[in-house]
Amino acid sequence: MTATDVSTSTSTAQHIELTERYAAHNYHPLPVVLAEGEGAWVIDVDGRRYLDCLAGYSALNFGHSNERLVAVAREQLGHLTLTSRAFFNDKLSGFAEALARLTGKDMILPMNSGAEAVETAIKVSRKWGYEVKGVPAGQASIITMQGNFHGRTTTIVSFSDDEVATSGYAPFTTGFRSVAYGDIDAVAAAIDETTVAVLFEPIQGEGGVVMPPEGFLRDLRALCTERNVLMVADEIQAGLARSGKTFACDHEDVVPDIYVLGKALGGGLYPVSAIAADRDVMDVITPGSHGSTFGGNPLAAAIGTEVVAMLEEGTFQARAAEIGDQIEAGFRPLVGNGLVGVRVRGAWAGIDIDPSLMTGRQMSEALMERGILAKDTHGSTVRFAPPLVASDDDIALLVTAVTEILTAG
């Protein structure tokens, strides 16, 4: 049964009422209460089925309840889940080796949430700047991009230009310089003797799947090398097969100095994140200088190792590219017919709706009525990121629904 009738049931209303009463209102979710999930589909408390076209902001690249990942997690739950890094554990070694191999880097530093991984990359970049590059103490600067989204810690929102994310949280952390996304000349002009890193998303997800101009990543790689600045790629959403490649930087055959990874690294089962870098960068981290109680725990490591094994097969990257071709073919003809813009990279799409027709929220609500879950961002923009196990019929359902809503609107 699909969600053709989303009138709020008593059960749904009760869950929403209790959540709104006892949980802080830091999100504005659609009025659906999910209870089960398998593959690309989820089921709410009333038994209605929905095609999940958000996939946990790309944390669920491999689908809900992926059999391989669930089996690994269940096995590990029966053995050992946490030791802290006060001791070695028998799963971290394999995970570290596997992720280093996948990224082509010498070492990894495991954390939990994506924001923690970004914070880790910032700390490593600054320490590298002082100890290796020779930046005077306390003066390290990092270049960031306008329109970015790297998380919501106090330091990270310090270089955000999203007023909702920043309002009421000052004073902010200094040491960041923001330039226009994709403008290599602006990056070059912002670099000086204090610059230790350029932190960027190869695709800006929160902005609505925004991509830089062709060649920007290659130019940035060359510039960072020339000016002795670390190139730090936040691949938390864009990486791990979402874009049709293992990493979004692969689209321009670029290798950053630091990969920042998360979301899909935990397979949608558990929060797993990490940074990966070569030894000349990572060796600035010494015992006690950074850490996490849960980072690198056996359960996370077991899941992460299986995620890497799945990615090394290449099937998810190929499927993401196929999904992208189908989405592109379906959405591109709608430009000028309800849409003013379409951006697709792999199984990731952003559409800009003619604001005279509806907002992104209204489109998301209309899709929910048709049994499809998606998320709006920035006014009339909607993002789509279906699990990479979605079928051709699933994607056709999405394209048809968007087309019908725009026609009716």
* Tokens representing residue 46 in the block: 């009333």
Residue 9 is predicted with a pLDDT of 85
Q: Which residue out of 62, 95, 105, 149 is catalytically annotated?
A: 149
In this predicted model, what pLDDT tens digit does every residue of 269-316 receive, in sequence order? 999 999 999 999 999 999 999 999 999 999 999 999 999 999 999 999
Q: Which residue out of 46, 52, 219, 234 is catalytically annotated?
A: 234
Mark whether 133 is an active-site residue: no
Counts of helices then strands in the chain (DSSP H, E): 14, 15
Mark whether 149 is an active-site residue: yes
DSSP for 327-367, please give it. Answer: HHHHHGGGBTTTEEEEEESSS-EEEEE-TTT--HHHHHHHH
User: Class assignment of domain 67-312?
Assistant: alpha beta
**DSSP 8-state symbol, 39:** B
**If pLDDT is split at 50, 70 and 90, which confidence band does 7 have?**
low
Mark whether 91 is an active-site residue: no
In this prediction, residues 360-380 reach a mean pLDDT of 96
In this predicted model, what pLDDT tens digit does every residue of 188-211 receive, in sequence order? 999 999 999 999 999 999 999 999
Count of C-beta atoms within a 10 Å radius of residue 403: 17
Q: Which residue out of 91, 127, 263, 375 is catalytically annotated?
A: 263
Single-letter amino acid code for the residue at 218: R
